[in-house]
Amino acid sequence: MTYKRKDGRKLDELRPISAKVGVIPNADGSAIFQSGKTIAIAAVYGPRKMHPQHQQDPTKGKLRCTYNMMSFSVTDRIRPGINRRSTEISKITEWALDPVLMLENYPNKVVDVFINIIQADAGTRCAGINAAAMALAHAGIPMKNIVTSVSAGKMDKTLVLDLDKYEDSEFKEGEGSTDIPITMTPDGKITHFQLDGKISAKQLNEIIDMAQKACKEIYEIQKKALKDSIEEKQ
């Protein structure tokens, strides 16, 4: 018995994506990334002087990410401000983005990335990373490459891509749902990988291949949004 998706998507089909850069005039770079009903907005400020001073690194610039869910982005209101979950996701996002950044020439500086989730329907960290990567490129921060994130998963025994909220947290049949957010560069370097659930090594190999294909798809959308912003200016 194969798993049938509630919204009629194919197993490896992503939700409709829209992406745009330059959405926050005050920021040095910004982007909004929507995947299905999940909406993330990101802004980049910097490179600017690192505060507090004791966190300055005289050998290179630093990346600092902040992930925050708006209180009304979920059905049960969450208290505004940081919590343990958002603290972890902020760090994970930093690790996902850091490998492609070239901040060697910005000693004592910080590049701040602020990610806010406007509307949540699972996959918020992936949407946040995708928005952040685009915002960094939009800000003109030197980068070797861009990164792209997708939430892969397994529903009972079936591999799927881009889980929605039902699949992520309400699906309980059989082996339940396994959630595997993955971030990688277009040339296949994984910069972020998490897993919650239960999956065999064989299936995990398969899902990584599926995720890589999906990332290519999302990468094209990110690239197009960045190109569009330049054409608009001319």
Q: Which is nearer to other proteins, 113 or 210 (CB)?
A: 113
Q: Which is nearer to other proteins, 74 or 204 (CB)?
A: 74
CB atoms within 10 A of CB 216: 13
> Is 53 near other proteins (CB under 8 A)?
no
> Is 81 near other proteins (CB under 8 A)?
yes
Angle between helix axes 201-233 and 124-138 (nearest 10 degrees) is 40
Choose, by CB under 8 A, the member of 14, 19, 27, 40 that binds other proteins: 27
Cβ neighbours of residue 223 closer than 8 Å, sequence gap 6 or more: 146
Choose, by CB under 8 A, the member of 4, 6, 72, 176 that binds other proteins: 72
SS3 (DSSP) at 181: strand
| Interface of this chain with other proteins, residues 111 to 130, rule: CB under 8 A | 112, 114-116, 118-121
Q: How would DSSP label each residue in 62-101?
A: EEEEEEEE-TTSSSSPPPSS--HHHHHHHHHHHHHHGGGB
Q: Which is nearer to other proteins, 1 or 81 (CB)?
A: 81
202: left (phi over 0), alpha (psi -120 to 50) or beta: alpha
> Is 83 near other proteins (CB under 8 A)?
no
Q: Which is nearer to other proteins, 48 or 91 (CB)?
A: 48
Q: What's 168's DSSP letter?
A: I
Q: Which of 8, 32, 28, 7 is nearest to 18 (CA)?
A: 32
Query: How far apart are CB 187 and other proteins at their closest, in Å?
Result: 30
| Sites of contact with other proteins (CB under 8 A) | 24-27, 30, 37, 39, 41-43, 45, 48, 51, 66, 68, 70-77, 80-82, 112, 114-116, 118-121
